[in-house]
Amino acid sequence: MRKQGLSYGNISKKCNTSKSNISLWCRDIKLTKAQYKKLLGNQKNNYLLGSKKLHEKREAEIKKVREDARKYIKKLTTKEFFIAGVVMYWAEGSKKTSTSITNSDERVILLMLKWFHDFFNIDIKTRVKAHLHIHAGNEDKKIKLYWSKLTGIPLENFGKSFVKPKGTGHRKNILPNGIIRIRVSGQGTEDMRHKIMSWVDKIYELSIKKPL
């Protein structure tokens, strides 16, 4: 069995004995180059098979965790959506200038556009401007069209994109649609930002029971 390319572990299972015994019994067996190559091939295949099984098992575990987690949130009330938007702005929004949020995740952008509309009555087509941050080699017009169709922001509301030049460690395949910054324009936007940040302060105070 050793000469057939079986490892000590496989032989141990077939003979129902310890690997130390197998090692002792096979210590004088000299493998040819072909036999040794076959042994290495078998070990590699066993490793890949084992890794695949572990990966599949872990994927099944993750799927169950995610399915169980979804059951925890059955609905989203208006107040909960309001809090979610405030916290999202706290994490990703501009704090000192303009009322804007920057991200590459479509879901973040779409959530915040709806939030701006629902709680500030912001019209997406007339009061939201957009700028892209893309890499050299990305198609600016194509990416603008992508975001415009996704968000409903008219193409004419997109400003000049910032293009990261080559040779600066760019990885254009990681973010094929770049990063978008959406900014609320028009009268009252500064007060809007101050109001949001005041809500942020209040959430912080209430969550840790200690005023700033």
Token pair for residue 87? 């916290």
Q: How far apart are the first and last CA of the chain?
A: 73
Rounded CA-CA distance 32/15 in Å is: 23
Q: In the prediction, which pLDDT does 44 show? A: 72
Rounded CA-CA distance 145/97 in Å is: 27
Q: In the prediction, which pLDDT does 3 show? A: 62
Q: In the prediction, which pLDDT does 52 show? A: 72
Assess contact for 151 and 108: CB atoms under 8 A: no
Rounded CA-CA distance 138/188 in Å is: 35
Strand partners, 164: 135
Q: In the prediction, which pLDDT does 8 show? A: 66
Q: In the prediction, which pLDDT does 54 show? A: 80
* CA angle at 148 for the pair 127 and 93, rounded to the nearest 5°: 55
Q: In the prediction, which pLDDT does 62 show? A: 93
Rounded average pLDDT per 10-residue block, the chain, 212 residues: 65 75 70 71 68 82 93 94 97 94 97 98 96 89 96 96 74 78 95 97 87 56
From 179, 201, 178, select the one nearest 100 (Cα to Cα).
179
From 30, 73, 48, 21, select the one nearest 2 (Cα to Cα).
30
Instruction: Enter the pTM of the model.
Output: 0.72
Q: Residue 44 CB: number of other CB atoms within 10 A?
A: 10
Q: In the prediction, which pLDDT does 169 show? A: 56
Q: In the prediction, which pLDDT does 108 show? A: 97
